[in-house]
Amino acid sequence: MNVNADYSMRVVVNHHDLPWIPSPESGVERRMLERQGDEVAKATSIVRYKAGSKFQAHRHELGEEIFVLDGTFSDETGNYGVGTYIMNPPGSSHAPFSETGCTLFVKLRHLGQDQVVREIIDTTSATWYQGMVDGLNVMPLMQQGSGSTLVKWAPQTFFNPHRHYGGEEIFVVDGVFEDEHGRYPAGSWIRSPHMSVHRPFSQEGCTIFVKTGHLLD
């Protein structure tokens, strides 16, 4: 299965416009943003666990990133609420479930061998750092290798035009993100290819999950 699998193309999708697709496990559904492969796939998805649902123990050969959008996500290592970022490194395994139900932003098989230690960050209490312009704050997430970052834009914040070597991927967690190409409300996913250029801003304020430099292949 291929969904938005051509990394040379710019893609904009709001996951709220996509259907829920059942997974092999009862009570777990997915909205597919991008996918290369069948059940074992390089993929970016919104995943929804209904209350009491679970996934059988499985191994992530090329790793996994999770950002909890609502509810409480759990596995044998603990319970993770809204705003938790989890990086499960290549070769790791777990048996995830949710007692109350949850919705997740999930990336599979995007990591490399420089990500070796599991990382968990509660972004509701972690430190924000001043960004490159006034009104912009950043929170580094993945600490190993080419990482992911949470970026918070105050209302009426504008950034300079810039080019992305290796591309850029954005998921809008809340608020409205913008650039010269359009407006992207919460739930939007934007993937821009290698060497793409844009001038981002936010008139209303927003929080976005950003990953850069990983789209060369």
28, 125, 27, 106: which is closest to 60 by C-alpha? 106
Structure token digits, residue 19: 């259907």
Give a three-class secondary structure readout of the chain.
CEECCCCCCCEEEEHHHCCCEECCCCCEEEEEEEEEECCCEEEEEEEEECCCEECCCEEECCCEEEEEEEECEEECCEEECCCEEEEECCCEEECCEECCCEEEEEEECCCCCCCCCCEEEECCCCCCEECCCCCEEEEECCCCCCCEEEEEECCCEECCCEEECCCEEEEEEEEEEEECCEEEECCEEEEECCCEEECCEECCCEEEEEEECCCCC
Give the pLDDT band of residue 42 (cuts 50, 70, 90): confident
One domain for residues 154 and 99: no
pLDDT digits (tens, 9 = 90+) for 95-135: 999 999 999 999 988 877 778 889 999 999 999 999 999 99
- What backbone torsions phi and psi does residue 81 show, to the nearest 5 degrees? -90, -175
pLDDT digits (tens, 9 = 90+) for 150-193: 999 999 999 999 999 999 999 999 999 999 999 999 999 999 99
Number of domains into which the chain is organized:
2
Write down the pLDDT at residue 185: 98
Give the pLDDT band of residue 146 (cuts 50, 70, 90): low
One domain for residues 117 and 134: no
Amino acid identity of 103? Answer: T
205 lies in which domain range?
129-212
Give the pLDDT band of residue 213 (cuts 50, 70, 90): confident
pLDDT digits (tens, 9 = 90+) for 2-15: 989 899 999 999 99
One domain for residues 208 and 146: yes
Query: Tell me, what CATH number does 85's domain have?
Result: 2.60.120.10
- Average of pLDDT values for 47-60? 92
One domain for residues 110 and 146: no
Last residue of a domain, one of 65, 97, 122: 122
Could you tell me if residue 174 is inside a domain? yes
Calculate Rg over the CA atoms of the chain. Answer: 17
Write down the pLDDT at residue 102: 98
- For residues 23 and 73, what is the distance between their CA atoms, to the nearest angstrom? 17
Last residue of a domain, one of 104, 122, 140: 122
pLDDT mean across residues, the chain: 93
Contact by Cβ (8 Å): 85, 141: yes
One domain for residues 142 and 179: yes
Could you tell me if residue 112 is inside a domain? yes
Write down the pLDDT at residue 217: 63
Could you tell me if residue 69 is inside a domain? yes
Contact by Cβ (8 Å): 13, 45: no
Could you tell me if residue 194 is inside a domain? yes
One domain for residues 92 and 163: no
Report the Cα 144 to chain-centroid distance in Å: 16
One domain for residues 23 and 103: yes
One domain for residues 163 and 133: yes
- For residues 107 and 67, what is the distance between their CA atoms, to the nearest angstrom? 9
One domain for residues 136 and 84: no
- Average of pLDDT values for 14-19? 98
Contact by Cβ (8 Å): 111, 93: no
pLDDT digits (tens, 9 = 90+) for 183-198: 999 999 999 999 999 9
One domain for residues 83 and 116: yes
One domain for residues 146 and 164: yes
One domain for residues 75 and 153: no
Contact by Cβ (8 Å): 50, 22: no
Last residue of a domain, one of 122, 148, 179: 122
